[in-house]
């Protein structure tokens, strides 16, 4: 726009120049003693105007060209700066890290340096609950705190989102690097204050070394990121140093995920059932459906191995839907064969429970299988229940309106609260096996307290993981309604369950 403005002024100046020359020249020529042809005079005037205009154009074009060159240089400089900088935190970005990496290698081939890949744990929750504007402000505070911790001992980069990289190129020992990682973790554990609200954040750190863990920046970052993942799998808020076995584990994990996708498509799953026994009569009064994966290549795979991957990849929703339908279908089939009607418990994952269509799915399965809702129990964990209490209460009320019973699984391992139990109006309380496994004086007291609590709220109480007669006798003595565990039966296929059931 500015350049167009200058061009317009140039044309205007040219026109004015022609007018002025014409105005001044004609009277002078008329007063002179020489006689000129009028056409010749006008031709000379216009040629002179054109020459003057051409000279003016040349001068102004040179001026504009010089200005454009200066503007271009300044613009290119700023564009280069912007391309190397994270605009939110003003830290060098991923491109700057790559350039720095190349520069270090140009200076010396024998250089060995280390990077710390710093990942903020659970930062997505901040964005989801407080909004991205608040999240951006928090990232600025994180960047400032990292600057203070590092204090010039390395080069800090903000490569994307909640991921930062610290480059250390002074041949520090691995002990020094680990000490730096510990300092960062300790400092980041101090709550961030934002608008009079405390935010508790932690970081997981992966450490990788050039050239052993990667001969270029991409491979080095990949190795450090694998170490971060191991740190997160180990409970987060810690650090791991990369080793090559991590690649083997990651390859195995990727193979398992690929096979799991195929397993969902081909329904390579089966349900086993574990009996729940009445403590007083010893009769089977309920069953818990437990999934197994029968892979053609790998054999039977434990849910402890594939369920976490299913949750991580989102496949747990499809798997959970299959379990729900398969359990209801099997239960109805037993009833059609004349066996006594028993409730079958199905475990519900967090992703399933939070689906907007979850209740509708349950209703559809019950309708399709023609199973009475009384014979389906849904199990949720404490962590699911308290994640969004309003949502939980709404879903539970809708499920109860259908006629379902709800069990709270693994009670005692999370944020157990009498207030939550009253709000949720749970039907069944399941005591986690960790309280049963080593019943000593302290565990016995906790177990008894949970049973008394459940009874006071008119809940049925089930103890999981009962393996010895001593455990069973104690639970029966303190009034536990039902027990479940290897003492009575492992999870077994439907055919084995039928041997335990009785004809109605």
**Tens digits of pLDDT across the chain (504 residues):** 555 555 556 656 655 666 565 556 556 555 555 555 556 666 666 666 666 666 666 666 665 555 555 555 544 544 555 578 888 999 999 999 999 888 888 776 657 788 999 999 988 888 887 888 888 999 999 999 999 998 888 899 999 999 999 998 877 788 888 999 999 999 998 988 877 778 889 999 999 988 888 888 888 999 999 999 999 988 899 999 998 888 787 788 888 889 999 999 999 999 999 999 999 999 999 999 999 999 988 888 889 889 989 998 999 999 999 999 999 999 999 999 999 999 999 999 989 998 999 999 999 999 999 999 999 999 998 778 777 788 889 999 999 999 999 999 877 665 556 667 778 878 999 988 888 876 766 667 888 888 998 888 899 999 999 999 999 999 999 999 999 999 999 999 999 999 998 775
* Residue 5 structure tokens: 């403005």
pLDDT tens for 128-154 read: 878 888 889 999 999 999 999 988 888
CA distance 83 to 100: 14
Specify the pLDDT at position 77.
46
* Residue 409 structure tokens: 């699984």
Closest CA to 258 of 178, 212, 313: 313
Sheet strands (E) in 267-328: 269-278, 284-295, 299-301
Tracing tokens 């103890």 back to the chain, one arrives at: 463
CA distance 308 to 313: 9
* Residue 278 structure tokens: 């009445």
- Provide CB contacts within 8 A for 484, sequence distance 6+: 274, 275, 276, 277, 288, 462, 463, 464, 465, 466
Closest CA to 21 of 44, 49, 56: 49
Is 457 exposed, middle or buried (CB count within 10 Å of its CB: 0-12, 13-18, 19+)? middle
Specify the pLDDT at position 466.
93
- Provide CB contacts within 8 A for 236, sequence distance 6+: 121, 122, 202, 204
From residue 129, give the alpha-carbon distance in Å to each of 123, 125, 350, 383, 393.
Answer: 10, 6, 17, 17, 19
Q: Are 325 and 269 in contact (CB under 8 A)?
A: no
CA distance 140 to 74: 28
Q: DSSP class of residue 491?
A: -
* Residue 214 structure tokens: 């990667």
The pair phi, psi for residue 444, each rounded to 5°, is: -65, -40
In sign, the C-alpha dihedral spanning 259, 260, 261, 262 is positive
CA distance 199 to 197: 6
Specify the pLDDT at position 412.
64
CA distance 274 to 429: 17
Give, in degrees to the nearest 5, the angle at Cα 59 between 57 and 63: 110
């Amino acid at each position: 726009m500015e350049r167009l403005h200058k061009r317009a002024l140039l044309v205007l100046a040219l026109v004015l120049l022609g007018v002025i020359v014409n105005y001044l020249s004609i009277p002078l020529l008329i007063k002179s003693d020489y006689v000129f042809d009028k056409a010749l005079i006008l031709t000379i005037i216009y040629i002179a105007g054109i020459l003057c205009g051409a000279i003016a154009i040349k001068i102004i074009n040179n001026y504009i060209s010089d200005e454009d060159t200066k503007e271009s240089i300044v613009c290119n400089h700023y564009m280069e700066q912007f391309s190397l900088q994270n605009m939110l935190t003003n830290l060098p970005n991923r491109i700057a890290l790559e350039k720095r990496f190349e520069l270090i290698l140009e200076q010396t081939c024998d250089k060995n340096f280390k990077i710390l890949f710093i990942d903020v744990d659970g930062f997505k929750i901040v964005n989801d609950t407080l909004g991205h504007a608040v999240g951006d402000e928090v990232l600025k505070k994180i960047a400032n705190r990292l600057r203070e911790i590092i204090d010039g001992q390395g080069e800090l980069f903000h490569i994307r989102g909640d991921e930062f990289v610290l480059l250390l190129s002074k041949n520090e020992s691995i002990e020094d690097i680990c000490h730096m990682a510990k300092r960062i973790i300790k400092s980041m554990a101090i709550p961030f204050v934002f608008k009079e609200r405390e935010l508790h954040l932690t970081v997981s750190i992966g450490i990788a070394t050039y050239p052993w863990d990667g001969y270029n920046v991409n491979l080095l970052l990949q190795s450090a990121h694998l170490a971060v993942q191991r740190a997160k799998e180990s409970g987060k808020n810690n650090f791991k140093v990369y080793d090559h076995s991590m690649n083997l584990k990651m390859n195995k994990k990727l193979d398992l995920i690929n096979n799991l996708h195929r397993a969902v498509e081909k329904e390579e799953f089966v349900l086993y059932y574990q009996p729940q026994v009445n403590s007083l009569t010893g009769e089977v009064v309920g069953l818990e459906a437990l999934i197994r994966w029968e892979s053609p290549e790998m054999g039977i795979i434990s849910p402890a191995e594939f369920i976490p991957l299913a949750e991580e990849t989102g496949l747990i929703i499809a798997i959970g839907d299959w379990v729900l339908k398969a359990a209801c279908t099997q239960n109805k089939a037993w009833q059609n064969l004349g066996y006594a009607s028993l409730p079958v418990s199905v475990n519900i994952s967090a992703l399933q429970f939070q689906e907007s269509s979850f209740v509708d799915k349950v209703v559809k399965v019950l309708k399709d299988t023609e199973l009475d809702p009384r014979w389906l129990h849904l199990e949720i964990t404490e962590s699911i229940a308290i994640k969004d209490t309003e949502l939980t209460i709404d879903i539970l009320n809708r499920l109860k309106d259908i006629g379902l019973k709800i069990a709270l699984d693994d009670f005692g391992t999370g944020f157990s609260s009498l207030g939550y139990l009253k709000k949720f109006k749970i039907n069944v309380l399941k005591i986690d096996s960790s309280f049963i496994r080593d019943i000593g004086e302290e565990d016995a007291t906790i177990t008894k307290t949970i049973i008394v609590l459940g009874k006071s709220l008119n809940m049925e109480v089930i103890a999981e993981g009962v393996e010895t007669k001593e455990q069973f006798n104690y639970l029966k003595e303190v009034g536990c309604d039902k027990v479940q565990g290897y003492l009575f039966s492992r999870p077994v296929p439907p055919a084995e369950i039928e041997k335990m059931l009785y004809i109605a």
